[in-house]
A = this chain, B = another copy of it.
Amino acid sequence: MATTIKDIARIAGVSPSTVSRILSNKKTLSSGYAPETISKINQIAKDLNYRKNRSAIELVTKTSQVLGIILPASPTNFAQEIIAGIQKVASLHDIDVIIAYAGEDSELLQMQALKTISERSVRGILLLGITLSATNAQFLRASDIPYIFLSVAQPEPDLPFIASNDFDIGYQATNYLIMHGHREIAFVGADIPSCVGQLRLDGYRQALKDHQIAYRADYVIPGNWLYEDGIQAMNMLEKLPHLTAVVAGSDLVAAGVINRARQLHHHIPSDLSIIGIDGTALCDIIYPQLTSIQQSFYEMGVKGTEQLIRQANITSSYTPICTKKGGSVATRNKQNE
């Protein structure tokens, strides 16, 4: 049987209210108590190994110091960075974090995760790297808990998000290669049906168009942002002799392309230039080091958490992207073509 406030009150010879006030340490109230009483209560609490009962507190106060995070079942390698940002801000405000995992594609698992989080009186919900089905989005709206999506821009205006501008990412990645003299550029490993994939592809196409480069459907090889997708993509790229550069959907995809290219005796970057997307720690670890469009993941976590904690009205915004230079892109002499 766990120790309660009543136990302490009985032993100390005071009322439960007194104990509650002292233990919950409200500045305005406990300041009035005799230091003697205060230390006595604290001592007994320690002796009896007293622990607050959060359920009781949350029930009566109807508030909590908890933030809910919903993650895709297989968190991407940058989820870590976003969570670090969340964690940083949360701990600054003495706020705890609950995590629930949602299957990306299973509507049922999504709902499960939403319920898990929304049934606990959380102060806000952060949805990382997922897109909800219409039904589930409706459920979320109806919960009257503040929420914000991170890293995936949402089309509906009442689903606020903090993310990179994926069109810009696609555009800049492609443009970077064009600026280095490439005109035969593949776009591989992205999950095209997804919002993110679609926008990046749009950016890729626009960059081509702006430089009078014809779009070729066989230069687009879809995937799921995975290392294996890079491997697969490279197998197909082999058959495209004019190709000189690749936009990879993620750093992982880029790593797959690079490694498979090496196995096929193509030299990176002299035979084939590659630019990644994400700018994760992986860029420095693989060889050659990867040039990548870097996203501000940590900042997404920070900004999202601050908004939720501040309780102000939540607004969508984009975080900056920048080009992180590695050694995977070579300048191409235009005469070569």
Given A227-B285, A286-B286, A116–B96 Cβ distance below 8 Å?
yes
Q: Does A131 contact B (CB under 8 A)?
A: no
Q: List 15 A-B contacts (CB under 8 A).
A: A2-B144, A49-B142, A53-B121, A54-B55, A55-B59, A55-B121, A59-B59, A73-B87, A75-B80, A96-B98, A96-B100, A98-B98, A98-B99, A285-B286, A286-B286
Residue from A49, A52, A120, A262 whose CB has the most chain B CB atoms within 10 Å: A120
Residue from A91, A97, A252 whose CB has the most chain B CB atoms within 10 Å: A91
Q: Does A259 contact B (CB under 8 A)?
A: yes
Distance in angstroms between the alpha carbons of A53 and B58 in the assembled complex: 10
Distance in angstroms between the alpha carbons of A259 and B73 in the assembled complex: 32
Q: Mark A96-113, 1 if CB is under 8 A from B, else 0.
A: 111111000000000010
Which A residues fall within an 8 A CB radius of B?
2, 49, 51-56, 58-59, 73-75, 80, 84, 87, 91, 96-101, 112, 115-116, 118-121, 142-144, 227, 252, 255, 259, 262, 281-282, 284-287
CB of A52 within 8 A of CB of B119, answer: yes
Contacts of A115 in B (CB 8 A): 51
Contacts of A75 in B (CB 8 A): 80
Contacts of A97 in B (CB 8 A): 98-101
* Residue from the list B91, B101, B282 in contact with A285, Cβ < 8 A: B282
Contacts of A80 in B (CB 8 A): 75, 80
Q: How far is the CB of A223 from chain B (nearest CB, A)?
A: 16
Nearest chain B residue, comparing its CB with the CB of A262: B287
Question: Which 7 pairs from chain A and chain B are nearest by CB?
Answer: A55-B58, A55-B59, A55-B55, A54-B119, A54-B120, A287-B287, A99-B99
CB of B120 within 8 A of CB of A55, answer: yes
Contacts of A285 in B (CB 8 A): 227, 252, 255, 259, 282, 285-286
Q: How far is the CB of A247 from chain B (nearest CB, A)?
A: 19
Nearest chain B residue, comparing its CB with the CB of A255: B285
Distance in angstroms between the alpha carbons of A119 and B59 in the assembled complex: 14
Nearest chain B residue, comparing its CB with the CB of A103: B91
Nearest chain B residue, comparing its CB with the CB of A94: B112
Contacts of A259 in B (CB 8 A): 284-285, 287
* Residue from the list B118, B120, B143, B287 in contact with A286, Cβ < 8 A: B287
Distance in angstroms between the alpha carbons of A59 and B2 in the assembled complex: 13
- A sample of 8 more A-B contacts (CB under 8 A), given A53-B59, A53-B119, A285-B285, is A49-B143, A55-B56, A55-B58, A55-B121, A97-B99, A97-B101, A98-B98, A99-B99
Contacts of A120 in B (CB 8 A): 54-55
Contacts of A52 in B (CB 8 A): 119
Distance in angstroms between the alpha carbons of A93 and B51 in the assembled complex: 27
Q: How far is the CB of A331 from chain B (nearest CB, A)?
A: 22
Contacts of A84 in B (CB 8 A): 74
